[in-house]
Structure 1
Amino acid sequence: MASYVLKRLLAIVALTFGITIVAFLIIRLIPGDPVIAMLGTGAGDKEMILRLREQLGLNRPLPEQYLIWIGQVMRGDFGYSYANQQPVSSLIASSFPATAQLTLAALALSLLFGSAIGIAAAIQRNRAADTAGMALALVCMSIPSFWLGLLLILLFAVIWPVFDVVGGTGLKGLVLPAVTLALGTMGFNARFIRSSVIAALSQQHVVTARAKGLSEPRLFAWHVMRNALLPILTVVGLQIGQLLSGSVIVETVFSRPGIGRLLIQAILAKDYVTVQALIMMIALIYALSNFIVDILYPVLDPRIAR
């Protein structure tokens, strides 16, 4: 078990190093001069261009720029946002809790309803409930989140003003964004869980346990779901990154504060320092969630760590 964790830890360290390099280069290798783009109408002042380039360290060689930047990042300094006139770390600190709340709520809804639909469809395989459940899952996967968000705003802000649908940060303001973000992954979870449960039901030890007279609830809890949970855990790790990226659209549609909306605003304002920090942070959260999933594997199946 210790060697398994050590291997995964070394892998996440190497991946983190790669993520920082990509986040660093993605801004510096795009066509054009980021300083001119940031200054906009003031880009005609050559002295100002040189001064800002020096402040950002863009007049140094790339390797030196990277070492300076990564040293600042390790101290929690992500740079200064000229568009917002405040440190990027302050922007992230004020925006991240809302995105974390939205992502966790969407993940909980996706797993709860996706599991219910998938398990019911697996138990009623090739029956009407199975067909209806998979049709619903396909519809959920097919609806674009931006269109669904606008539709929910129309229904629950214009026709029936039930929820706070624009800029709401409380529980009433969380419901519709979370539903919008969760719907696509809920459909995928339902289909994936159905397949996993059906595969687990056909295992020989499950057939033997049923033949020995084990009750269906106990059989399902101890033998079926325990075997079906491992591939589902993989999907959860991947979906955290998917939900984080999906929050960019959902937070923009609902005018909800968060890192997704902050990223869009930073791109439109050509605030490259903020864009660089947010790209790195989202990628690191995605990598960390998959690392946690890797560590949980041996808990469910000790054979993996051997």
Structure 2
Amino acid sequence: MLRYVGQRLLQGAFVLWAAYTVSFFILYLLPGDAVSIMASGDEQNAVDPALVAKLRSEYGLDRPLYEQYFIALGRALQLDFGISIKNGVAATRSVAEVLPETIKLAAAGFALAVLLGSALATAATFSRNPWVRQALGSLPPLGIAVPTFWIGLLLLQLFSFRLRLFPAIGNDGAASIVLPALTLAIPTAAVIAQLLSRSLRQTLGEPYIEQVRAKGASEALINFGHALRNAAIPTLTMLGILVGNLLAGAVVSETVFSRAGIGRLTVTAVNSRDIPVVQTLVVLAAVIFVVTSLVVDLIYPLVDPRINIGKTAKA
């Protein structure tokens, strides 16, 4: 068990290093320059070469690229990602100030996604009406195909502008999180429903289900006590990717609904080429992915006792 966890931690460390390194060089390959953008102020002002040279020296951007990388990597290992080029404060502080709002949004979105996706999958699988099964089964592909921003705009138009049930923008109170969370939840719920319904159909065709039925178990016990529990395992394996989808969706959702959070900070940082902030966000996303994957692996034996992490690690 300890050996397995150690191996996963080493893999996680490699993922973090790779994410940091790839993002570092990609950001330098993008057109535009953070210092030039900051020096110009806006598109109508000419860039002062003397000011640009001074700013480059202050931020260490006049050094060779490989030297900048190793200096930045050394600081990152100490959880120092540098100073934001846009606002002059620590990049970690810029992220920490908006992180709680995104956590609330992501948690609400994830809870809704699990609830909606599970309900849709079970209804589509266990319904005895073939027309209902077919209609419900067609919803997950539709939810996956529809762009997140379009879902947000549709909800905004219907529930904010027409029905006036929820506020259109901002972070003011619990009501303001409903539409952004629903926008975030629908695509993720569609993925959960598609995976879970397919797994449920496969599980219901397994021989042990017929054995349980032959012993006189009720359909409710078969469906929810045996089939659903085992069918949830493939969905759990996708949990890390689903969390990544939530983070990506947060960028769109917070932009559509003008919410202060990681999403809007990401858009601003990328547009202004604020490399320290962008890299802090990339590493944060990688940490969440690594931790989620490890937690899912440790949860497996609780869901299915047949899975033994110790034997898997030795194998």
TM-score under structure 2 length normalisation: 0.88
Secondary structure of 1:80's partner? coil
- What's the counterpart of residue 159 of structure 1? 162
Distance 1:43 1:77 in 2: 33
1:279 aligns with 2:282: yes
- What's the counterpart of residue 13 of structure 2? 13
Distance 1:38 1:283, change over 3 A: farther
Gaps of 5+ in 1: none
What's the CA shift string for 1:41-74, capped at 9, x where partnerless? 6774333222222222223333432232233223
State the AA in 2 paired with 1:211: A
- What's the counterpart of residue 113 of structure 1? 116
Distance 2:258 2:38 in 1: 24
Cα offset for 1:31?
Answer: 4.3
1:66 aligns with 2:69: yes
1:204 corresponds, among 199, 202, 207, to 207
1:231 aligns with 2:241: no
- What's the counterpart of residue 185 of structure 1? 188
1:29 aligns with 2:29: yes
Distance 1:201 1:169 in 2: 46
1:136 aligns with 2:139: yes
Distance 2:215 2:160 in 1: 56
Secondary structure of 1:82's partner? coil
Distance 1:73 1:125, change over 3 A: farther
**Maintained 8 Å contact 2:27/2:273:** no
RMSD: 2.2
Distance 1:214 1:138 in 2: 33
Cα offset for 1:250?
Answer: 0.9
1:303 aligns with 2:303: no
State the AA in 2 paired with 1:2: L
Cα offset for 1:32?
Answer: 5.0
- What's the counterpart of residue 2 of structure 1? 2
State the AA in 1 paired with 2:215: K
**Maintained 8 Å contact 2:24/2:69:** yes
**Maintained 8 Å contact 2:117/2:192:** yes
Cα offset for 1:213?
Answer: 0.8
TM-score under structure 1 length normalisation: 0.91
Cα offset for 1:122?
Answer: 1.3
Secondary structure of 1:58's partner? coil
What's the CA shift string for 1:122-160, capped at 9, x where partnerless? 113671221121123333223222122122222222222
Gaps of 5+ in 2: none
Cα offset for 1:188?
Answer: 2.1
